[in-house]
Chains A and B, each alone.
Chain A
Amino acid sequence: DPKQGNILSFFKKK
């Protein structure tokens, strides 16, 4: 099954 992605892997902390 596909794995759930994580927002932090797309948007970086400022």
Chain B
Amino acid sequence: MLELRLVQGSLLKKVLESIKELVNDANFDCSSTGFSLQAMDSSHVALVALLLRSEGFEHYRCDRNLSMGMNLNNMAKMLKCAGNDDIITIKADDGSDTVTFMFESPTQDKISDFEMKLMDIDSEHLGIPEAEYDAIVRMPSAEFARICKDLSSIGDTVVISVTKEGVKFSTKGDIGAANIVCRQNTTVDKPDDATVIEMKEPVSLQFALRYTNFFTKATPLSSTVTISLSNELPVVVEYKIAEMGYVRFYLAPKIEE
């Protein structure tokens, strides 16, 4: 028996909107730790890791570990039917081939339930090694989204370079080239508006903008984004989910042949 009650149901709606274009089908894993997911896109270029910790739910009952295969597009369709202020409860019985999403309006005058068919998905978990990153950039998530969008109108790939000067996003295309440099800036009114750069080693990596643009669909989840880079490792683009956990996107770099 599984019953997870999330008062801020809009968080789950935003999570689905942030990953449904990158991943088609995925297993949601439920354990005493929380509600989580790890999945790759169909070309195995990017990986998404989601964690919603059990403490973040108003009620969290998970009698035994359960893995539920879902089509994310279909799940997003159902969650779109929940109001932004609704409380969402996820329910499943042991051995059932369906999951139920229950939506309660804040005043309890409208209660809906949507039953979705589960699917069998063969997926193996990947071990993500703990890494010490050469550079970690924290910046406003809207700024990162803007940069990815702007650069993708010029080129297909972005080179992200961190030096002591700041973080530089560069692209080249048929019509020309573009460079955007963001310097560390902590003298802001709101801490979330800061750009903070921690650098151990200079790093420069090239990525496909098609994927970074998928990641920025998570912008509504968090006002800041953390980009962790090491030479010759996948970049980690992390959006924290207030009080609950995170969505992390890992993207394999482009490699010189």
Contact = CB atoms under 8 A, between A and B. Distances in A.
B46 A3 contact: no
Nearest to A11: B126
Give the interface residue-count category, chain B: 20 to 34
Contact of A14 (B44, B124, B233, B254): B124
A13 B122 CA distance: 13
Contact of B124 (A2, A10, A13): A13
Given A10-B233, A11-B250, A5 B127 contact: no
Given A8-B126, A14-B126, A3 B255 contact: yes
Contacts of B255: 2-5
A3 B157 CA distance: 11
Contacts of A5: 45, 234, 252-255
Contacts of B129: 11
Nearest to B45: A4
A3 B255 CA distance: 5
Contacts of A14: 124-127
Give the interface residue-count category, chain A: 10 to 19
A3 to B, nearest CB: 5
Contact of A3 (B40, B44, B234, B254): B254
B159 to A, nearest CB: 10
Contacts of A13: 124-127
A14 to B, nearest CB: 5
A13 B47 CA distance: 13
Interface string B58-72: 000000000000000
Given A2-B255, A2-B256, A7 B250 contact: yes
28 contacts: A1-B254, A2-B157, A2-B254, A2-B255, A2-B257, A3-B254, A3-B256, A3-B257, A4-B45, A4-B208, A5-B45, A5-B252, A6-B44, A6-B45, A6-B252, A7-B40, A7-B46, A7-B47, A7-B250, A8-B44, A8-B126, A9-B252, A11-B126, A11-B127, A11-B129, A11-B250, A13-B124, A14-B127
Closest 10 CB pairs of A and B: A5-B252, A2-B254, A11-B126, A13-B124, A14-B125, A14-B127, A7-B47, A5-B255, A2-B256, A6-B44
Given A2-B255, A4-B45, 10 more contacts: A1-B254, A3-B254, A4-B208, A4-B254, A5-B45, A5-B234, A6-B45, A7-B45, A11-B129, A13-B126
